[in-house]
């Protein structure tokens, strides 16, 4: 097992815009390297462990950062390097990634929400459309000198540069072919409470930046796709449709949008729990099922059928030859003449019952035996209630000790 360094995108600024994986990496980190100038302290305070070591990236040199990576490799520490937005955009990721690999550290990169995406979401516009612009050009502070070359493509541009260089950027955009009425969005600290997002045009861009006093690194979005939608003109004679205000809209009018949204979610959860816990109502017109015992009617005996007498059935192993002779109408000699042997009267032959012996004798003498009635079918039960299991209690009465058996004397030979 070795140490690990994770390059995590902290998002555009808000603490809740970091990805779930990024928050997990921060919660597991022993050391968090971040820059307060580009990453908000709330993000670190929200997700980092209380005992984690915090290192200000803006106050240490590059060699000190490498020493930190060496210590992580030797002590098997988890280190998180926080980047504003997405680490793959203007984050200087390549050099640090290769350095960690040379030190034998496990390295992974967790992407984040870029400031470009956050600004597009803030103004409710997509950056690419099939009929206006199908590509986006991203340029950082080092590429600000080549804005005119990029502007020649006539597509959407995202420029990250210092607000103090706005005049130079405007000149290069005009040289690249953009007109003064080209829509421009100016964004600073997007998604934070003190964010600045302004929509203007290329001709009024310098005045807009001076008005909001933007002198640090600012994001400029330029392109026709950012043009605001035209306002719908009301036709004379049309009356607006008045709709009843919902509970959420009334709450949003007096509270902030985030508080109202969370309240609406909470109300929905409470309603769902109440429905789930409420007992099911019985359907009207239905009664409990009634259990009925259905029995099959007894069948009448067939004409000429006679019930067997006890003498005909006999008892197994106990009946004598006299009983068999009474059933067949012949004497004991008839039973013996049937080939069943010559046993004495009252003694069954070869383990046969007296009834069986008499029956054999009657067959041999040509006597007629009455037919036996078939067994009656068992009653059919439509439905039966489930019996409750019976409980058996152990007896508490002590058992009497068994009497000892006397030993039998041995016989003398």
Q: Along the 413 residues of the chain, how does pLDDT read in single tens digits? A: 689 999 999 999 888 899 999 999 999 999 999 988 888 888 898 899 999 999 998 899 989 999 999 999 999 999 999 999 999 887 788 999 999 999 999 999 999 999 999 999 999 988 988 888 889 999 887 777 788 888 888 889 999 999 999 999 999 999 999 999 999 999 999 998 889 999 999 999 999 999 999 988 899 999 998 987 665 555 554 444 444 545 544 544 455 555 555 566 556 666 766 765 666 555 555 555 555 555 555 555 555 555 555 445 444 443 443 433 333 444 433 333 333 334 444 444 433 444 343 333 444 434 444 455 666 666 555 555 555 555 555 555 566 666 666 666 666 65
Q: Is 63 a domain residue?
A: yes
Q: 60 with 133, same domain?
A: no
Q: Is 58 a domain residue?
A: yes
How many CB atoms sit inside 10 A of residue 221's CB?
23
How does strand 53-56 pair with strand 196-201?
Answer: unpaired
Cα separation of 265 and 275, whole Å? 16
| CATH number for the domain that contains residue 164 | 3.30.950.10
Q: 167 with 127, same domain?
A: yes
Q: 103 with 125, same domain?
A: no
The pLDDT score that the predictor gives to residue 141 is 75
Q: 133 with 56, same domain?
A: no
Strand partners, 261: none
The pLDDT score that the predictor gives to residue 239 is 47
- How far apart are the two ends of the chain, measured CA to CA in Å? 89
- In the listed set 226, 261, 292, which residue is the last one of a domain according to the structure? 226
Q: 42 with 21, same domain?
A: yes
Q: 43 with 136, same domain?
A: no
Q: 124 with 40, same domain?
A: no
The pLDDT score that the predictor gives to residue 393 is 57
- Is the separation of the CB atoms in 364 and 374 below 8 Å? no
How many CB atoms sit inside 10 A of residue 345's CB?
13
Q: Is 386 a domain residue?
A: no
The pLDDT score that the predictor gives to residue 146 is 83
Q: 120 with 38, same domain?
A: no
Q: Is 352 a domain residue?
A: no
The pLDDT score that the predictor gives to residue 91 is 76
Q: Is 211 a domain residue?
A: yes
| CATH number for the domain that contains residue 64 | 3.40.1010.10
- Is the separation of the CB atoms in 7 and 81 below 8 Å? yes
Instruction: Give the full edge-to-edge strand order of the sheet including 136-139.
Output: 136-139, 156-162, 217-222, 183-188, 196-201
Q: Is 317 a domain residue?
A: no
Q: How many CA atoms does the CB half-sphere of 1 hold within 13 Å?
A: 4
Q: 107 with 171, same domain?
A: no
Q: 108 with 142, same domain?
A: no
- In the listed set 113, 130, 153, which residue is the last one of a domain according to the structure? 113
E strands within 100-139?
Answer: 106-110, 136-139
- Is the separation of the CB atoms in 97 and 107 below 8 Å? yes
Q: CA torsion, points 280, 286, 289, 292, in degrees to nearest 10?
A: 180
Torsion region of 397: left, alpha or beta (phi above 0 gives left; psi -120 to 50 gives alpha): beta
Helices within 125-204 (DSSP H only): 147-151, 166-175
Q: 122 with 51, same domain?
A: no
Our count of domains for the chain comes to 2
Report helix, strand or coil for 160: strand
- In the listed set 226, 250, 272, which residue is the last one of a domain according to the structure? 226
Q: Is 276 a domain residue?
A: no
Cα separation of 328 and 369, whole Å? 8
Q: Is 347 a domain residue?
A: no
Q: How many CA atoms does the CB half-sphere of 7 hold within 13 Å?
A: 24
Q: CA torsion, points 218, 219, 223, 226, in degrees to nearest 10?
A: -100
Which residue range(s) make up the domain with 183? Answer: 116-226
Q: 138 with 195, same domain?
A: yes
């Amino acid at each position: 097992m070795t140490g690990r360094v994770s390059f995590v995108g902290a998002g555009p600024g808000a603490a809740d815009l970091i990805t779930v994986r990024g928050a997990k990496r921060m919660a597991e980190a022993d050391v968090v390297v971040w820059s307060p100038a580009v990453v908000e302290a709330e993000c670190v305070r929200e997700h980092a462990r209380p005992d984690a070591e915090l290192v200000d990236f803006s106050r240490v040199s590059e060699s000190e950062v490498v020493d930190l990576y060496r210590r992580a490799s030797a002590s098997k520490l988890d280190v998180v390097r926080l980047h504003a937005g997405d680490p793959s955009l203007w984050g200087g990721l390549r050099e640090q990634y290769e350095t960690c690999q040379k030190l034998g550290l496990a390295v992974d990169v967790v992407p984040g929400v870029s400031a470009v995406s956050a600004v597009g979401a803030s103004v409710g516009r997509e950056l690419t459309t099939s009929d206006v612009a199908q590509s986006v050009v991203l340029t950082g502070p080092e590429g600000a000198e080549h804005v005119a070359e990029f502007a020649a493509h006539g597509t959407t541009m995202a420029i990250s540069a210092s607000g103090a260089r706005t005049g130079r950027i405007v000149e290069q955009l005009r040289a690249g072919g953009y007109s003064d009425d080209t829509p421009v969005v100016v964004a600073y600290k997007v998604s934070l409470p003190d964010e600045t997002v302004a929509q203007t045009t290329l001709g009024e861009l310098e005045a807009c930046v001076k008005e909001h006093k933007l002198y640090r690194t600012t994001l400029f979005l330029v392109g026709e796709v950012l043009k605001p939608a035209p306002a719908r003109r009301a036709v004379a004679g049309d009356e607006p449709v008045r709709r009843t205000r919902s509970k959420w809209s009334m709450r949003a009018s007096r509270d902030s949008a985030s508080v109202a949204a969370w309240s609406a979610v909470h109300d929905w959860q409470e309603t769902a729990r109440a429905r789930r816990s409420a007992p099911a109502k019985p359907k009207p017109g239905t009664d409990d099922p009634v259990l009925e015992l259905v029995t099959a009617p007894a069948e009448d005996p067939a004409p000429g059928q006679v019930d067997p007498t006890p003498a005909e059935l006999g008892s197994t192993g106990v009946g004598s030859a006299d009983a068999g002779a009474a059933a067949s109408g012949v004497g004991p000699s008839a039973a013996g003449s049937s080939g069943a042997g010559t046993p004495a009267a009252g003694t069954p032959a070869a383990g046969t019952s007296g009834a069986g012996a008499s029956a054999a004798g009657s067959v041999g003498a040509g006597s007629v035996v009455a037919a036996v009635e078939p067994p009656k079918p068992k009653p059919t039960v439509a439905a039966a209630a489930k019996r409750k299991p019976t409980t058996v209690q152990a007896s508490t009465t002590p058992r009497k000790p068994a009497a000892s058996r006397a030993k039998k004397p041995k016989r003398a030979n």
